[in-house]
A and B are shown apart, each in its own frame.
Chain A
Amino acid sequence: MLDTLVQTLLHALVLALVPPLLPGIVNKTKAVFAGRTGPPVLQLYYDLAKLAEKGIVLSRTTTWVFWAGPLAGVVTALLAGLLVPLGTHRAPISFPGDFVLFAYLLALGRFFTAAAALDTGSAFEGMGAAREVSFSPLAEPALFFGFLAAARVSGSLSLSGLLTGAWTSGWFASGGALLLVLAAWFVVLLAETCRIPFDDPNTHLELTMIHEVMVLDHGGPLLGLVLYGSSVKLFVLGALVVRLALPVPSGGPLPAWLLFGAGMAALAIGIGVVESVMARLRLVRVPQLLVTACLLSALGTVLVMR
């Protein structure tokens, strides 16, 4: 009982505090590839501290929706994070079918971000919202087909059981299928967290942005929430991929947490490498890549359904 409590507490702490580290690792990797020193790994923490001290400028045309957007982004991402198992234990919240809640928590966050963007009445932000909501429905099937395959392999309907069980019973029996799912989920991760090749988180070009353009009018603490929320989202989706890819080692919580941490760091470096070696897709090609991810995921499902 006490152990569960400690693990739950640890889960919550890690979920709340570690995410801003990931963009730091991604950016450091990109800097190394480019031959630059790059910003410190902890830069996002500094940025958040700085933004928290600033004031907020609100446009007269905006309503409560404008500030509810970033808030909802953070809350939904954190709640989704409570559904994903990180260490040895089950996730703090776990029940059969919780993966549906997981997917739609993220969708709810997106809905509020898009609504906050539309609330400004700016052409840019409307454009970004339109792009975001037209691409995300294409990412959703890729996620769900993956859940189906993993559920089938592990015989569990909760995220905790499904991700843990996928490894113990699945990788040997249906490794090919899970590999397809893993590839599809990595693409979904890149798309949902607005990384290259879908979106360029570093660009200053309003017209090319997808996610960034929706939050152009947010400043100060609200921008801090947006940045924090997207790092939590990256962490949560990353955890999903890492937990599917890596086993839970025996020998207690410590090796499990260490392996998980190493997996997350490797994932962040992987994202950095992808961003360093390829260019962004033309915007009209984005759906094609997402549909490819869906097909990979669906094929994985078909393979395990035989």
Chain B
Amino acid sequence: MSGPRLATLRNGSALPLAAVPDLPFEDLRDAVVRETAEGNRLVSFFASVPEPASPASSRAGGEVELLAVVADDEEGTLGVGRARLEGERFPSLTPACPQAHWFEREIAEQAGVVPAGHPWLKPIRFHSSWREGHDAWGRPALAHPVPGVTDFYRVEGEEVHEVAVGPVHAGVIEPGHFRFQCHGEEVFHLEISLGYQHRDVERALAGGPHKGTVPIVETIAGDTTVAHAWAYAEVVEALAGVAVPARAGAVRGVALELERLANHVGDLGALANDVGFLPTASFCGRIRGDFLNMTALLCGSRFGRGLIRPGGVGFALEPERAGRLAERLVAGRRDALEAIGLLWETASVTARFEGTGVVSPKDAEEIGLVGPAARACGIGRDVRHDHPHGIYRYVHLPVVTASTGDVAARAAVRAAEVERSADFVAEQLAALPETPARVPVGPLAADSLAVALVEGWRGEVCHVALTDGDGRFRRYKVTDPSFHNWFGLALALRGEEISNFPLCNKSFNLSYCGHDL
């Protein structure tokens, strides 16, 4: 290996910022392009803009800092590099490294700088730039951009027609806009435009930790509460140099896998519902509730809110409760596997799943898919295995993969994970370590960086924190797995029938608010 080096660290650890090489932008670009070409992944790439101390300085601009985190899944290490931008433009990475596509659009929107040569430079969330007076598209400073108002890719032709779906849908789901270029029933191209759920989470987290930090983190994506809360806790623990007690680690593992169980089961039921197969749809709807109630038994919230706190967990899972949970788990596991089994036994269902919404392994690699969507393409990518942290350092969960990359593969991966996760939880409940559930957390290290990856049920949740001289968050970057995977859904629809869109969509089941932040 030659060329500029990135600083290396492990998942869930911190590094003084001084140890992160401050590279010229070209070197950072070369390093990221080289690493991704070697098979490593871009897990986070973002801009940190100088805090406006006064309106005058904000108008003056100041230097924008770019920071990239690259994961080496084989070695289990993370590489970090940063660069200060001079001026308002930088040469785009996307042509050489498609994984940067969405990240660079985000950088352009947040920092108001232009990745020159980006092939598809449009806003992704439709908010005004964080640096007043600097806008990548030269939009007026005070006008709030309207989500979905942009130039959409269009296919011209006599027999081509355009179908626009959303942001208001016929079902009670999150808002998002989908633009299909169709030829009869065949989809030539799908463009996804989001941003309707933008709450400015990242800026609300900057300046923390404060009273609002944990509630905000827990609601980044409601169905991924545990994974986000865990990632946040790990970032804080790394910065404070705290080791989490073993019992807390086990309870976190139990909660994360229960979250995975509830969502996988619910989504498999929803897949059945989308093809009009009633038995699995209605059984899974009920069983999802059973798993959510197990999380409620753990901490009083069906979504695991209030459970994970920096330094440990808020609820210790005492033996009597663990026993009840184990009992319920046995019933839930049995019912879930039975209901899911019906899917594979019904020919009319498998006929709908197989060959629908195929993503090729090459595309999946190039755009950096994560989670079950990647594993369904035969890519054995799983944070619990590649970058083990917490309980996963001691208990190994086998990585489930499938090879066909279609709806059937995504469903099969998730079905198998239901079994594995249930077994994992049962194993943990049988032998909970006897330690305190929580330890106090001291002040955070100043001028440092911490990275935490957690394998949520949708895939890799990544939190990166930069602290200032007082140990407060100067920049807090959240990357939900949906951020990586939305483009995968667009690719899955190429050449597919438009009537299969809901099925493909459900097989990914990505988060709108997790993406929009």
Question: Is A282 a contact partner of B352 (Cβ separation < 8 A)?
Answer: yes
* B501 within 8 A of partner (CB): yes
Given contacts A33-B278, A33-B279, A279-B277, contact A205 B348 (CB under 8 A): no
Question: Is A275 a contact partner of B276 (Cβ separation < 8 A)?
Answer: yes
- A275 contacts which chain B residues (CB < 8 A)? 276, 278
* Cβ 8 A contact of A283, one of B279, B348, B349, B499: B499
* B165 within 8 A of partner (CB): yes
* A276 within 8 A of partner (CB): yes
Interface string of B476-511 (1 = CB under 8 A from A): 000000000000000000000111111100000000
- B420 contacts which chain A residues (CB < 8 A)? none
* Cβ 8 A contact of A34, one of B185, B279, B346, B352: B279
Interface residues of chain A, those whose CB is within 8 Å of chain B, are 30, 33-36, 123-124, 126-127, 130, 196-197, 200, 202-208, 216, 275-285
What are 29 sample pairs from A and B whose C-beta atoms fall under 8 A apart? Answer: A34-B279, A34-B282, A35-B286, A36-B282, A123-B161, A123-B162, A124-B163, A130-B184, A196-B276, A203-B274, A205-B171, A205-B274, A207-B165, A207-B498, A208-B500, A208-B501, A208-B503, A275-B276, A275-B278, A277-B279, A278-B348, A279-B346, A280-B277, A280-B352, A282-B351, A282-B497, A283-B497, A283-B500, A284-B497
A124 to B497, CA, bound (A): 14
A277 to B349, CA, bound (A): 10
Name the residue of chain B whose CB is nearest to the CB of A282. B352
Question: Is B170 a contact partner of A205 (Cβ separation < 8 A)?
Answer: yes
* Cβ 8 A contact of A208, one of B163, B348, B502: B502
A127 to B187, CA, bound (A): 13
Question: Is A34 a contact partner of B502 (Cβ separation < 8 A)?
Answer: no
- A216 contacts which chain B residues (CB < 8 A)? 170
- B164 contacts which chain A residues (CB < 8 A)? 123
- A203 contacts which chain B residues (CB < 8 A)? 274, 276
16 A-B pairs besides A203-B274, A205-B171 with CB distance below 8 A are A34-B282, A36-B282, A127-B498, A197-B348, A207-B498, A207-B501, A208-B500, A208-B501, A279-B275, A279-B276, A279-B277, A279-B346, A279-B352, A280-B352, A281-B351, A283-B497
Question: Is A204 a contact partner of B348 (Cβ separation < 8 A)?
Answer: no
- A202 contacts which chain B residues (CB < 8 A)? 276
- B276 contacts which chain A residues (CB < 8 A)? 196-197, 200, 202-203, 275, 279-280
A189 to B279, CA, bound (A): 23
* B25 within 8 A of partner (CB): no
* B315 within 8 A of partner (CB): no
A158 to B500, CA, bound (A): 43
- B348 contacts which chain A residues (CB < 8 A)? 197, 278-281
Interface string of B350-367 (1 = CB under 8 A from A): 011000100000000000
- A124 contacts which chain B residues (CB < 8 A)? 163
- B283 contacts which chain A residues (CB < 8 A)? 34-35
A283 to B500, CA, bound (A): 8
- A278 contacts which chain B residues (CB < 8 A)? 277, 346, 348
A276 to B277, CA, bound (A): 7
9 residue pairs, one from A and one from B, having the closest CB atoms: A34-B282, A204-B171, A280-B276, A205-B502, A279-B277, A279-B275, A200-B276, A279-B348, A283-B499
Minimum CB–CB distance from A224 to chain B (whole Å) comes to 19
The range of chain B's interface size is 20 to 34
A283 to B184, CA, bound (A): 12
Interface string of B283-309 (1 = CB under 8 A from A): 100100000000000000000000000
Minimum CB–CB distance from A120 to chain B (whole Å) comes to 14
A33 to B278, CA, bound (A): 8
Question: Is B278 a contact partner of A276 (Cβ separation < 8 A)?
Answer: yes
Name the residue of chain A whose CB is nearest to the CB of B178. A207
Name the residue of chain B whose CB is nearest to the CB of A216. B170
* B258 within 8 A of partner (CB): no
* B281 within 8 A of partner (CB): yes
* B220 within 8 A of partner (CB): no
Minimum CB–CB distance from B447 to chain A (whole Å) comes to 51
Minimum CB–CB distance from B496 to chain A (whole Å) comes to 11
A123 to B162, CA, bound (A): 7
A283 to B164, CA, bound (A): 20
* B272 within 8 A of partner (CB): yes
- A33 contacts which chain B residues (CB < 8 A)? 278-279
Minimum CB–CB distance from B258 to chain A (whole Å) comes to 24
A127 to B161, CA, bound (A): 10
A207 to B356, CA, bound (A): 15
Question: Is B275 a contact partner of A280 (Cβ separation < 8 A)?
Answer: yes
- B275 contacts which chain A residues (CB < 8 A)? 279-280
- A204 contacts which chain B residues (CB < 8 A)? 169-171
Give B303-335 interface residues, CB cut-off 8 Å to A: none
- B286 contacts which chain A residues (CB < 8 A)? 35
Question: Is A208 a contact partner of B170 (Cβ separation < 8 A)?
Answer: no
A281 to B497, CA, bound (A): 13
- B500 contacts which chain A residues (CB < 8 A)? 208, 282-283
A204 to B272, CA, bound (A): 14
- A284 contacts which chain B residues (CB < 8 A)? 185, 497
Minimum CB–CB distance from B433 to chain A (whole Å) comes to 40
- A36 contacts which chain B residues (CB < 8 A)? 282
A204 to B273, CA, bound (A): 10
- A200 contacts which chain B residues (CB < 8 A)? 276
A52 to B279, CA, bound (A): 34
Minimum CB–CB distance from A39 to chain B (whole Å) comes to 14
A285 to B352, CA, bound (A): 10
Minimum CB–CB distance from B354 to chain A (whole Å) comes to 10
